[in-house]
Each structure stands twice: as structure tokens, then as C-alpha cells.
Structure 1
Amino acid sequence: MLRQQVALRPLSRGLTKRGAASTLPITARRTFISRRAGRPSSRPVELDVQGLSQKAKDYHRNRQVFLWSGAIAGVVSFIYTAYKLKRELEKPVKLDSSLPSTDPLTNSNVAERKVVVHDEEGREIVPTGNSTVPAFPRTIDLPSFTSPLEAPAETAADPLTPPLSLGAATTEYTLVGLGLRTVTFVGIQVYVVGYYVATADIAALQSALVKTVDPIATALVPGERDQLRGRLLDPVEGDKLWDELLTKGIPARSAFRVIPVRDTDFHHLRDGFVRAIQARSTDLSGGQAAADDTFGEAMRDFRAIFNRGRVPKRKELLLVRDGKGKLAVAYDDGKKGRQLIGVVEDERVSRTLWLNYLAGKKVASEPARKSIVEGIMEFVERPVGTVAAQVV
């Protein structure tokens, strides 16, 4: 039975409502959830001391690993933050026009502007983005090359003949754009090339480009600049436009500055130039230049200029085009300064070589071509004649 009656016993302290002593039955209940009296176990307690010790070791080891990981992560994040702050502080400031953003002459593509910084000597330089050749000067002073142009080409090209002396008068050239030339599908870097235009001749180039869009304008607004940019980047239109300008002698004086980023030689550079000239020679305005004996003789003179030895990295090679289209090649080995090494009289040679960088379906350096086009955009956004004083 789950329920048992227990003997009655008097309540010594309990009182009824009437104050008389009474007796009450006390009932003990046992249910299925009631706690049973436990019996002491006779089995011994088994403790895995080694397992507990191993767990403790694992806990402390994981705790130390976690703490060290947090400490290392904190140090790394501190160093990274300091590095980023340092880079931001050292980041050159983009120099732009002081015109308000709402002014129609303000360049809408500010991100493409060239950045000008100063080196340790205070000269203005433009970063190239390459670690071997980190910067190009914003301006360079070059001889006119007028007197040396009269020297025979075969004498100037002889490696045993001392380089031709340069004239005393110099002309300032301003950087328009630059870029890196790469070859093969893996993008092997060869050299950094920059396009310079004589500062005094920029106004003529600026005026000619503006008039191709609007014959009566002196500067182009954003929509017109986009139209000109599209023409310059178009393989057909750009080639036609630059060919017409160069044929007319616009700009009159310009130069390409080539700085190798790896050790090379004159023959390697010559082969690249010759292939580019031959690929475009049949497209020159005026007929079959490839079959022209005069043009063939000029190409032989051009090849002879490069019959020389090595060109170490960071050494300067200059290709300079004068007002008549004559090509002068100068080289600076780092010891004697810029030395004229040869001249080609036929203007078609320099024109095809220039087109190899400025326009067409396939150019020597696409980054250089795009940078040059953006430099042109900076020219045409300002009134004609004011570019020479602008901050690039």
C-alpha cells in the first residue's frame, strides 16, 4: 500500500479553535517521485589522473596560443596602421587648377592628372610607378641639334668615331605623358618611355587639336574633350590625326626619352624600332614609302646608328625630332653626358617612329599612349597660349 496509517499521538502544543487539546492522525506518503534512502556504495571511485592532467595541459597550452595570437595580431595591426599612415603622409599631392569644380574649364577626369613632386634637389619630377626608374623630370633642356645635323650620317654612326658635339643653345621640353613598354604575353618590362614637347611649341599643338573639334574655340569643354579623347584613342582616327599633324610639323620639336629598366643593347632596341617603322611605312601619306629608294637609304642610316654595344639599365636614350622632321639620336652613358650618336634626314623615319607611340591599333606602350592622351586633355582644357605656365 502507498498509504499507511501511523499511531495517533497527542499534540502537546497544538490547540483547537476552542482551546482544547486534541489528537490528529499523521499520514506518511510514499510516491514514485519520493527520494529513497540511498545505500552507501561499496564500489571504489575511479579517477583518471593522467587524463585530467593532460586536459589541464591542453587548456593552458591553448590559452597561451590564444594570448600569443592576440599579441601578434595587435603588433601586426599596429605596424600596418603605421605603414599606411606613413604612406598617406608621403603620398604626393596632386596639383590641379585653382578653378572651381563648376567651371567648364575644370578637368572632369582629375584622377588621370599627372602627379608632380620634388626631388631632393628641388627639381620637379613625375613618378613612373616603376621601382627601377622611379621618376622622370617634368622638363628637360636639350640642344637644338641644328649644327650637328649637317654631319654625314655614316660618320656619326661609326662606333669608333667620337660622338658629335652638341650646340650650346638649349630648348626646354615639357613632359606630356609616359608609360612602361612590355613585350611577350608575360609582360616582360623593357623600358620606360616619356613624350616631351618643346614648351614653346605647345601652343601650336594645343590650337591645332582644339580646332579639330571646334574651329572657332580656344579651349574645349568637358563634352568636347571627351570627343577629342575618343578620336585620339581610336586606332584609325588617332593614326590619321597624328599623321596629319606630324606631316605639318606640329609639334615642331618633340622627343621621346627612353630609359631601360633592365640591361639591354642597341641592337635589341634597334630591332624593335625597325619593326615598328616597317609596319607603318606602307601607310604613310604620300605613297609607297617601303619601295622608295630614298626611304630605304634613310632606314640603312637609322640601323647604322645602333651598331653599338650594351645599354645598361637606367641609361638615357633620346630620340629628338626637329622642326623639319629630322631625327637625332643621343645617348647618355652616365659619364660624358648626352652625346649625339647619329642623325637621319628623312622625316618619314621620325614620323613613323612617332606614330608607333602615339596612335594606331598596336602601339609600343599602351600605358604611354593613354598617358599622352590625358596630357593632351590637360592642354586643350585651357585657353590657347596659357599651357606653358600651367602645373602639369
Structure 2
Amino acid sequence: MTSLLPRTTPHPAHPPQAPPSITSQSTHPHPHIHTHTHTHTHTHTRTLTSKPPPTPQLDPISLHRLEASRRAYYKRRTIYSATGFLFGMTCIWLTATSIELPPPSKLDSSKPGALPPSTPVVIGAAAAEASERVPTGTSTVPTFPRTLHFSDDPRAPKQEYQLLGLGIRTVSFLGIQVYVVGLYVSSASIAKLQAALLRKAAPDGATTLVAGEREELRALLMHEGRGEEIWSEVLREGGTETIVRIVPTRNTDFHHLRDAWVRGLTARAQRNKEEFGDGGFGEAVAGFKGLFNRGSVPKGRELLLARDGEGKLSVWYEDGKAGKDGKVESQRLGEVRDERVSRSIWLGYLAGAQVSSEEARRNIVEGVMGFVERPVGTVEGQVHV
């Protein structure tokens, strides 16, 4: 009987392998060793329409912070660069304007030390007078005369003034030179000045000072407070005729010079309102300011501030114009009769915490020490600095 179920043919687990040929020979060097090599290859396929893997997203707050930090960094760089540039240019300008260069000379000119043919040769007493010069320490104004001959009244004979000390006024931390200043005292007033200073150092009426007393007087004059008190009393007592001689080392103007003195007058009035706080002193300061309503002051021009025995201040300026005899003459700018004005200006060079020229104050004190060691009235014409 025939079955209706489908007939299934059993499949072997492994397909039959052909028996090895007896006549075939293996080319392997070792025919009994069989090598099996399995190669696994992993491939990833992506269709054209599939999307790429997502990229990581940054936080907007983090992006804002990074951008702000970047802007701050470049802003700091810009500020530092601009500051350095401005500072460098300022230093270059200050250096270029503060250094005095010698005038240019032609290639066919004579030797630097030679005199032109038209220069007269000074001999005799005039040569001895010309040699009485004191070095200042600057090439722009190399020397100051040891003596001056001056009279505020052109009709009166001129008096001799002797140099007590000099120094250079400088400004800013770079030490830019502005002018050379020297204090002169009338030869006829030396004995009065000597006696006034001796009374401060030796109240017992001594006519000279020994070594210990001289050192004590030097310390008092260099002291901020006591030095100002001593010089203020000496100037207030009167009888001493002095001159402050100023010669600019660079081109300046009257307003610049005036403003420095006015600042000192104003500061002194604020510290001592009892003595300087009245309206009369204010009017005197206004009159002093009016004397300097002028233009420029070229370097090398002489400016004299003369203080007579009563404290009256007169101002003279060498404008460079020649007189009838061909000599350069000074013109009188005016006067201020209030002795507090001249006394305050003098104290700005002689005493206080901040003087206009520390070098001038020190040299003036040394000049004073040169004659207080001698008896009163015996040092006229013997002051040497």
C-alpha cells in the first residue's frame, strides 16, 4: 500500500567529501600538517537616506562665558599695549627735551676752542674779574658770577653783592632741570646777617661760634621747622639786602615761574592764617602776579628778585635788548612793598619740608657757615663758595 505522506530524504550532517586521490601529491612541505585560516571581516553599511550620528551640543551659557572671557582677554591686551606705548613715548619725549645738545658746527669751521677773529682779548683787572665765576653743575648755564653789582635806583651807585650759595631746580622724578638759582647778600649787610644768626645759635652775645656751636647752627638751619622759624625771624627783622638770581636752563615763560611761587604763597597763607590771612596779603599777592603777565623767558636770560632792607621786592629781567652803549640791559618789571611776599618766596628756597632746590639750600647753609665762625664785621669781602 502506498503512503500518501511526502517522502523525506535524510540530509547528512556534513556533506560528503571526495576521497583523496591516491595519485595526487601535496605541494605543502609537510604534507601531514594542515593549516586552517579563518578571516573575520566586520562591515557597517549605511544607506544614502540614513542620518549621521548626532554631534555633541555645547551649553549656551558655557558659550557665552567663553566668548566673554575671550573679549576680556583681548581687551586687557589692548589696554596693556596702549599703556606701554604711551609710557614709552612719554619717556622718549622727556628724554629728548631734557638733554641739551651742543650747537651744530660746519665742517669747515674752526676748532671748538678757538675764538672768532672779532672777539676781543680781555687782559688785566677785567680778566681777573671774569675769572671769578662759580661752576653750577650744568652745561646750559655753566657758571654764576661770584659777585654782582646792583642798584634798584638807576641814579644811585651800585652795591656789591656776594654769592652765598647756588643750586639747580629740578622737577618730576626724572630730575628735569628748570633753572639755576643763587642767593646773593650785600657786602654791607653781611655783618647784620652774621649778628642775627649768631643770636639764634649763641644768645649770650657771642661774636663768633666754636666748632660745636657751628654744627648746632647747621643742624637748626637744615631742620624743617626750626630752620623756617630762624630764617623767617632773620628776614623779618630787616636790614639785610639780598638778591635771588635765576637763570633758566631751558625755554620757559613767566606764567610757569609765577605759578610755582604763587603756590608757595598760597600754601603758606593756609598754614598760618593768623599772619597771612588778611586782605592786605591777598592784594599783595595779586600785585605780584601782575608783574609776570608776560610771554616767554628764553634759556640763559637773567631774572633778579631783589629784597631791600625793609623787605620790598623788586623784579628785574634781562630782555636781551642792547642799550645805548651796546650792552644788554635789564628792565624793571615792578615792585611789591609787602615784605611778607618776598619773605615767603625766600623761605621757599631756604627752609621747610620741601624747598625749591635742596642743593641750593644746602650750599647756602654752607656759605653761612663760612663766616659765622669769624668775628662780626671781619668777613666782608671774604665769602667764598
Report if TM-score (shorter chain) is over 0.5.
yes
Task: Give me the whole-angstrom Cα distance separating, in 2, the residues matched to 1:132 and 1:309.
Answer: 21
* Equivalent residue number for residue 126 of structure 1: 134
CA separation of 1:171/1:240 partners in 2, compared to 1, >3 Å: closer, same or farther? same
* Equivalent residue number for residue 297 of structure 1: 283
User: Partner of 1:298: helix, strand, or coil?
Assistant: helix
Task: Give me the whole-angstrom Cα distance separating, in 2, the residues matched to 1:136 and 1:263.
Answer: 18
Contact in 2 for aligned 1:206/1:379 (Cα 8 Å): yes
Q: Among 226, 229, 232, which residue is 1:237 paired with?
A: 226
Structure 2 spans left out of the alignment, 5+ residues:
1-125, 323-328
CA deviations 1:26-73 (Å, max 9, x no partner) are xxxxxxxxxxxxxxxxxxxxxxxxxxxxxxxxxxxxxxxxxxxxxxxx
Matched, 1:287 2:279: no
* Equivalent residue number for residue 325 of structure 1: 311
CA separation of 1:140/1:219 partners in 2, compared to 1, >3 Å: closer, same or farther? same
* Equivalent residue number for residue 212 of structure 2: 223
Q: Among 320, 343, 352, which residue is 1:360 paired with?
A: 352
Matched, 1:380 2:372: yes
Deviation at 1:239, TM superposition (A): 0.4
**What's the TM-score once normalised by structure 1's chain length?**
0.62
Deviates more, 1:258-267 or 1:202-211: 202-211
* Equivalent residue number for residue 105 of structure 1: none
Deviation at 1:167, TM superposition (A): 3.3
Task: Give me the whole-angstrom Cα distance separating, in 1, the residues matched to 2:128 and 2:194.
Answer: 32
Deviation at 1:315, TM superposition (A): 0.3
Deviation at 1:305, TM superposition (A): 0.5
Q: Among 321, 335, 342, which residue is 1:350 paired with?
A: 342
CA separation of 1:224/1:292 partners in 2, compared to 1, >3 Å: closer, same or farther? same
Greater C-alpha radius of gyration: 2
**1:143 alignment partner AA:** S
* Equivalent residue number for residue 248 of structure 2: 260
Structure 1 spans left out of the alignment, 5+ residues:
1-117, 146-165
Deviation at 1:205, TM superposition (A): 0.7
Tell me how large the CA RMSD over aligned residues is: 1.7
**2:376 alignment partner AA:** V
* Equivalent residue number for residue 278 of structure 1: 266
Task: Give me the whole-angstrom Cα distance separating, in 1, the residues matched to 2:333 and 2:369.
Answer: 34
Task: Give me the whole-angstrom Cα distance separating, in 2, the residues matched to 1:296 and 1:391.
Answer: 37
CA separation of 1:119/1:226 partners in 2, compared to 1, >3 Å: closer, same or farther? farther
Deviation at 1:288, TM superposition (A): 4.4
Contact in 1 for aligned 2:255/2:294 (Cα 8 Å): yes
CA separation of 1:173/1:391 partners in 2, compared to 1, >3 Å: closer, same or farther? closer
How many pairs does the alignment contain?
252
Contact in 2 for aligned 1:119/1:125 (Cα 8 Å): no
Deviation at 1:279, TM superposition (A): 1.4
Matched, 1:209 2:197: yes
- Identity between Structure 1 and Structure 2 (%): 54
Contact in 2 for aligned 1:281/1:352 (Cα 8 Å): no
Task: Give me the whole-angstrom Cα distance separating, in 1, the residues matched to 2:271 and 2:157.
Answer: 36
Contact in 1 for aligned 2:314/2:335 (Cα 8 Å): yes
* Equivalent residue number for residue 168 of structure 2: 180
